[in-house]
Structure 1
Amino acid sequence: MISASTLDFRDALPDRGRLAGLDVGTRTIGVALCDAGWTIASPAETILRAKFSVDAAKLRALVAAQLVKGLVIGLPLNLDGSDSPRTQSVRAFARNVEPFGLPILLWDERWSTQAVTRTLLDADASRARRAELVDKLAAAYILQGAIDAMI
């Protein structure tokens, strides 16, 4: 089940449990996880994109190892809320991971990367360090926004 509604997503979850947040890019997938009580999202890892079958295998292994109950996928919308050029590819990605059997929430990710980048700049992180962290931190930002909306 793919939904843009936090209520529908929450209702589709069997019980509270760990959620994974995904920031799907063209070259990487940032991954974040939250605790089973939906208190805080934490960055987990950055997956370098390859063929979808390889990406899916890595995600499936992470979902199984971390006992993930649902996926929150950042949806890259334009500032006016309309679909961006990347929106269609992220929706296709969501359809492709739907066979995992987990509820999927498409969450507006506008400003997530910019907010994280600003925080890293404020922390005086080097360009290399920012590149290393930005995707998984953006995934945590996306996931935290979704869990805050569901509580």
Structure 2
Amino acid sequence: MRYVKPLSLFQDLVRGNALERGRLLGLDVGDKYVGVAVSDIHNKIASPLSVLLRKKSTLDMMADDFQSLISELSLEGFIVGYPFDRQRGSPDAVQVKLFIDDLSATRKLEGLKYTYWDEGFTSKNVELLLRPLNLHPVTSKTIIDKFAAVGILQGYLDYVNRKQKSVTAEDFWKANSGLN
């Protein structure tokens, strides 16, 4: 796995053939579970996918699951939620980095790119939305993890699509204004 800057990951996707363009996977990494979301084929909309159990002993199986998803969904990269708003050495930030390091160490995801994206209290936001529903705690936790991953991935997709649109508009203006 190879880290790339957020915009670079998307620009690499856009440069590819539109008919063969891959999708992105959003990850909300917790200490016990990893919420997973996937983008649509146009990389505009994020949808919940699953929740994976996170243990050292299941890391190889998780990497195998990701390998299956890569081929099944034509995945190009991971958008990994990261707590940028907290101190660099916070336990949450450390666990995200360790998870990515451990996943990379399996060597099963060699061609895959990843980037970090601010998780911006995504779990807390989903939790607040679910509270009035009085769901069973296990059901609630599963939904929170999946939709936190959706929030991370959707935030990334909204940002990069806005950036892409503004660059395209700027290029169009320059090309048609005679200022090249």
Q: TM-score range by the shorter chain?
A: 0.7 to 0.9
Q: Distance in 1 between matches of 2:91 and 2:160?
A: 28
Task: Report if aligned partners of 1:76, 1:83 keep a CA contact under 8 Å in 2.
Answer: no
How many residue pairs get matched? 148
Q: Distance in 2 between matches of 1:120 and 1:19?
A: 26
TM-score (norm 2): 0.73
Q: Distance in 2 between matches of 1:81 and 1:112?
A: 17
The amino acid of 2:135's aligned partner reads S
Aligned to 2:65: 58
Aligned to 1:7: 7
Which structure is richer in relative contact order (CA contacts within 8 A, separation 6 or more)? Answer: 1
Aligned to 1:147: 157
Task: Report if aligned partners of 2:30, 2:95 keep a CA contact under 8 Å in 1.
Answer: no
Q: Over aligned residue pairs, what C-alpha RMSD do you find? A: 2.0
Task: String of CA shifts for 1:58-109, please: whole Å, max 9, x gaps.
Answer: 22222222111111011134x4463421212312322344442122011111
Aligned to 1:42: 47
List structure 1 runs of 4+ shifted beyond 4 angstroms.
none
**Shift in Å, 1:121:** 2.2
Partner residue of 1:137 out of 147, 153, 158: 147
Partner residue of 1:118 out of 117, 125, 128: 128
Q: 1:121 to 1:29 in 2, by over 3 A?
A: same
Q: Distance in 2 between matches of 1:125 and 1:65?
A: 35
Partner residue of 1:23 out of 28, 49, 57: 28
Q: Distance in 2 between matches of 1:57 and 1:91?
A: 20
Structure 2 unaligned residues grouped into runs of 5+: 162-180
Partner residue of 1:85 out of 87, 91, 107: 91
Structure 1 unaligned residues grouped into runs of 5+: none
Whose Rg is larger? 2
Q: Tell me whether 1:32 sits opposite 2:37 in the alignment.
A: yes
Task: Report if aligned partners of 1:76, 1:110 keep a CA contact under 8 Å in 2.
Answer: yes
**Shift in Å, 1:115:** 0.9
Q: Distance in 2 between matches of 1:127 and 1:82?
A: 34
Q: Distance in 2 between matches of 1:61 and 1:136?
A: 19
Aligned to 1:127: 136
Point out the structure with the larger helix share: 2
Indicate the percent of aligned positions where both proteins have the same amino acid. 31
Task: Report if aligned partners of 1:28, 1:46 keep a CA contact under 8 Å in 2.
Answer: yes
TM-score (norm 1): 0.85
